[in-house]
Structure 1
Amino acid sequence: MSVNTPENRSNRKLLIGGLLVVLLSINGILIYMNYQKKEKTEEQAEIIRVKNSELENQIKVYEALKADFERQSQELQAMGLENDSLEAKITAINADLDELRGFRKRSYSLADQRRFRDRASAFEKQLKEKDSEIAQLKEEKEVLSTENTDLRTTQTRLADSLSTMKTTNRNLSEKVKVASKLEAQNINVNIINQRGKEKEDDDNEYRAKRVDKIRVIFKLAKNDVAEQEPKTVYMRLIEPDGAALYNLSMGSGTFQIDGEDMYYTAKRDFVFDNTQQQLSFLYDKNAAYKKGKHTIELYTDGFMIGKANFELK
């Protein structure tokens, strides 16, 4: 049986004290280690933050460079100049931007940082050189523009004068065209029956069933303005229903009046000689004629030159 002597009690106190010292020492060591770990973690986080900040700043630098090169490209286009070299730079910057943005998901090393800073510096140098070149081009263009102001003014005046002359000539041409319009006079319509007998009726009234052919006779009035040259006269034989007789096999076709196609019944070519020459048409419908009022219209050079009516009973 142990005896609780003063010596034993003193030993227990020393043991307990020693244990406390050991525990305190271990706790201190743990606290220090945790502090070191926390400090290292914070240091790593700061490094990552700095790298991320550097990366985002570099991306902004490249985006600004891209915007400036695009501005230069637009300025050159506005001056009508080629910009292939700028397009190549913009393409290269876009490729660098794609690579930089990819570092958001992977490590952005110091070597990468140096590489992109160096490339950005080179782009900035090229940008400044191009700005100087564009400024020089603008200055030269301004000088040329100033020198050409008087020339453009003169050209405008000449163009206005030429336009006025063209208008005057066009008006004169129209007046000459109207003045040179031919006129068909003394238009007569003769009826030829099936026996070949030709009849001219002062009342212009004939029996439809007896009509075999129609002869249209007229004279051309004198016109000293009209060109003495080959011409064509078109005849339109318009029936009571308002339609012009049209038969391709009998020589019918189309001609233009005021830009629009119009059917003609027959045509003939002649040479206008300003001698009040007489012309005629002999038309065979090769079918029965309709009863009622018929109209003869004559056209030459885009104008109606004469008109006559006859009645078939």
Structure 2
Amino acid sequence: MSTNTPENRSNRKLLISGLLVVLISINGILIYMNYQKAEKTEEQAEIIKVKDVELENQIKIYEALKADFERQSQELSAMGLANDSLEAQIATINSDLQELRGFRKRSYSLADQRRFRDRASAFEKQLQEKDQEIARLKEDNEVLFTENTDLKTTQTRLSDSLTTMRSTNAELNQQVRLASRLETQRINVNIINQRGKEKDDADNEYRAKQVDKIRIDFKLAKNDVAKQEPKTVYMRMIEPDGAALYNLTTGSGMFQIDGEDMYYTAKRDFVFDNTQQELSFTYNKNAEYKKGQHTVELYTDGFLIGKTTFVLK
């Protein structure tokens, strides 16, 4: 039977105190470990949050890079320049964007962050260099555009001057052509009967039955502008019905006046020498002449140079 001695009571107190100390220590350790665990969890959550923010920022940087490279591609296309290298850059950035967006579902490590930051820096450097190149190209294009505009303006002025010169030359040529037109000083119409005798009437009126041939004499006026050269004079004898006498067997044919075809009755060649030379036609119809007023027209170098009429009764 144990005795409840003072010594035993003292030992029990010491044991209880020791147990309490141990329990308190264990509890403190557990509280500290729980605190550490919670702190670590919060730290990991913060790290994950920071990584997510970094990832989204990196995605935005790549999207901005893509937009800038697409802008450069459009600017080069607008200048008509090839942009294959930029298209390759855009394809690479699209591939990187796809990889970055994939990290939303898996771990985005520090190594990944460094890798994409370095790649983004390289892209930004390339972007800056390409912007400088495009700026130089734009300046060159502006210079070329200005030079081309000046050249076109000069060409337009030269073309206008040439047109004006041609117009002036054409006007001068026309004036010279008009000034060099020959003219007749007089035209006489005589008839030749079947016996070969000529008859001249001041009124140019003759009996149709007496006419075998018709002789037309004319004198050319002086013209110092006209070239002294071989020429051809065409004679049209127009009957009362308005038709020109025309017979291939007697030398008739066709010529042009102001772009229109006209029949001539006879023609002859001569050399104009500006001496008021006299020329003549003798025409034989080889048929009876119509009664009424006949008209004689003379043409040289495309101009009517003389005209007269006579009447057959």
TM-score, normalised by the number of residues in structure 1: 0.55
- Cα deviation code 1:254-288 (max 9, x no counterpart): 11111100110000011100000000001110110
Q: Quick one: distance in 1 between partners of 2:287 and 2:279?
A: 25
1:247 counterpart residue number = 247
Gaps of 5+ in 2: 1-73, 82-129
1:173 counterpart residue number = 173
- Cα deviation code 1:231-275 (max 9, x no counterpart): 110000000001100111111111111110011000001110000
Q: What secondary structure sits across from 1:169 in the alignment? A: helix
- Cα deviation code 1:102-144 (max 9, x no counterpart): xxxxxxxxxxxxxxxxxxxxxxxxxxxxxx9xx99x9676653
AA at the equivalent of 2:226? A
1:220 counterpart residue number = 220
1:205 counterpart residue number = 205
AA at the equivalent of 2:221? A
Does residue 264 of the first structure (1) align with residue 264 of the second (2)?
yes
Shift of 1:164: 1.2
AA at the equivalent of 2:296? I
AA at the equivalent of 2:147? E
1:189 counterpart residue number = 189
- Cα deviation code 1:138-188 (max 9, x no counterpart): 967665333222111111111111111111111111111111111112200
2:304 counterpart residue number = 304
Rg larger in 1 or in 2?
Answer: 2
AA at the equivalent of 2:199? K
AA at the equivalent of 2:151? L
Does residue 288 of the first structure (1) align with residue 288 of the second (2)?
yes
Q: What secondary structure sits across from 1:214 in the alignment? A: strand
Q: Quick one: distance in 1 between partners of 2:141 and 2:195?
A: 89
- Cα deviation code 1:173-227 (max 9, x no counterpart): 1111111111112200110111111111112111111111111000000000111
Superposition CA RMSD, Å? 2.8
1:14 counterpart residue number = none
Q: Quick one: distance in 1 between partners of 2:151 and 2:239?
A: 64
1:148 counterpart residue number = 148
Q: What secondary structure sits across from 1:151 in the alignment? A: helix
Q: What secondary structure sits across from 1:219 in the alignment? A: strand
Moved more, 160-169 or 234-243: 160-169
2:17 counterpart residue number = none
AA at the equivalent of 1:203? D
Q: Quick one: distance in 2 between partners of 1:260 and 1:141?
A: 55
- Residues 30-179 of structure 1 aligned to structure 2 (within 5 Å): 144-179=144-179
Q: Quick one: distance in 2 between partners of 1:147 and 1:261?
A: 52
Q: What secondary structure sits across from 1:305 in the alignment? A: strand
TM-score, normalised by the number of residues in structure 2: 0.55
Gaps of 5+ in 1: 1-71, 82-131
1:230 counterpart residue number = 230
How many percent of aligned residue pairs carry the same amino acid? Answer: 75
Number of positions where the alignment pairs a residue of Structure 1 with one of Structure 2: 189
Q: Quick one: distance in 1 between partners of 2:146 and 2:169?
A: 35
Moved more, 269-278 or 147-156: 147-156
Q: Quick one: distance in 2 between partners of 1:299 and 1:144?
A: 59
- Residues 8-19 of structure 1 aligned to structure 2 (within 5 Å): none
Q: What secondary structure sits across from 1:276 in the alignment? A: coil
